């Protein structure tokens, strides 16, 4: 092999090595920047350390650009990202929140030209309700306290030709909620159940009161990536005066009811 060929081979090897090193040791802040852009600034990974593949950061929720509302997940979030095979080439992501997930939450992302799919393995978690305040109106006004318990036997989101389809289900229990707008503590406990149809085109949402002075109920549908929900809030007998301010904020007043509509 002549000297020119050897030089070219050495240069190609050096470039390939540099690219491989860049890929393997890509800094965690690159992932943090991508999350901020994708969420419009509402979800942020700050103080990120490590690499794109293995790292940790403080998880911050905000109301978006220009919002002053922020909240942070206690103890932050750690991740592990690896190439995988999940019905095709995919990325396997493990998320661990020391405060809130007894086991890491496992996700698989399978990108494709016709379909991109995200699958979340069965999981459980408990989050402080105060995190919602970071998302802006009306949560920053309600300033909820309590616990949000999440449980799923499997959840999937698929994007096909720009249309979103949901698979599986999710249970959300809001336990012993309280608000700075009411002297009644706690206001109550509530359950929201999301169940997708077998074809993934429609998911049904049901909200019910488990206990408490504030009575919530409603039904909705998640269709094509959009949620339509209709429900109401009322005060249990004897709690009307103490809950007046809260009922005026959570929806449109219709006599003793506060009507809640989304979509």
Chain mean position to CA 249: 24
Contact 236, 257 (CB under 8 A): no
Contact 108, 90 (CB under 8 A): yes
User: From CA 6, how far away is CA 12, in angstroms rounded?
Assistant: 10
pLDDT by position in tens, the chain (length 263): 545 544 454 445 444 444 444 455 578 898 898 888 888 888 999 999 999 899 999 999 987 766 778 899 999 999 999 888 888 888 899 999 999 999 999 999 988 787 888 999 999 999 999 999 988 888 888 899 999 999 999 999 888 877 888 899 999 999 999 999 999 999 999 999 999 987 777 899 999 999 999 999 999 998 777 889 999 999 999 999 999 999 999 999 999 999 999 88
> Residue 110: is the preceding peptide bond cis (ω within 30°)?
no
Taken as a whole, the chain contains a residue count of 263
User: From CA 129, how far away is CA 134, in angstroms rounded?
Assistant: 10
Mention every residue, 6+ apart, whose C-beta is less than 8 A from residue 66. none
pLDDT of residue 87: 81
3-state helix, strand, coil in the chain (%, to 5): 20, 50, 30
Q: Please give the model's pTM, rounded to 2 decimal places.
A: 0.85
User: From CA 112, how far away is CA 89, in angstroms rounded?
Assistant: 9
């Amino acid at each position: 092999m002549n000297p020119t060929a050897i030089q070219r081979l050495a240069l190609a090897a050096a470039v390939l090595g540099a690219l491989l090193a860049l890929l393997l040791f890509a800094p965690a802040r690159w992932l943090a920047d991508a999350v901020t852009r994708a969420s419009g600034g509402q979800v942020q990974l700050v103080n990120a350390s490590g690499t794109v593949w293995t790292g940790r950061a403080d998880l911050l929720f905000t109301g978006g650009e220009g919002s002053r509302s922020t909240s942070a997940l206690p103890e932050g979030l750690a991740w592990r990202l690896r190439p995988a095979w999940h019905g095709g080439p995919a990325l396997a992501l493990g998320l661990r929140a020391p405060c809130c997930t007894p086991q890491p939450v496992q996700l698989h992302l399978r990108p494709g030209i016709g379909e991109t799919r995200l699958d979340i393995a069965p999981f459980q978690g408990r989050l402080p309700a105060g995190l919602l305040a970071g998302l802006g109106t009306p949560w920053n006004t309600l300033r909820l306290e309590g616990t949000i318990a999440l449980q799923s036997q499997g959840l999937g989101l698929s994007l096909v030709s720009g249309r979103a389809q949901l698979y599986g289900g999710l249970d959300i229990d809001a336990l012993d909620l309280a608000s700075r707008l009411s002297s009644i503590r706690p206001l109550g406990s509530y359950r929201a159940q999301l169940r997708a149809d077998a074809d993934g085109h429609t998911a049904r949402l049901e909200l019910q009161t488990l206990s408490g002075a504030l009575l919530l109920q409603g039904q909705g549908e998640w269709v094509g990536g959009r949620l339509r929900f209709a429900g109401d809030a009322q005060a249990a007998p004897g709690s009307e005066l103490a809950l007046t301010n809260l009922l005026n904020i959570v929806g449109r007043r219709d006599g003793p009811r506060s009507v809640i509509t989304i979509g």
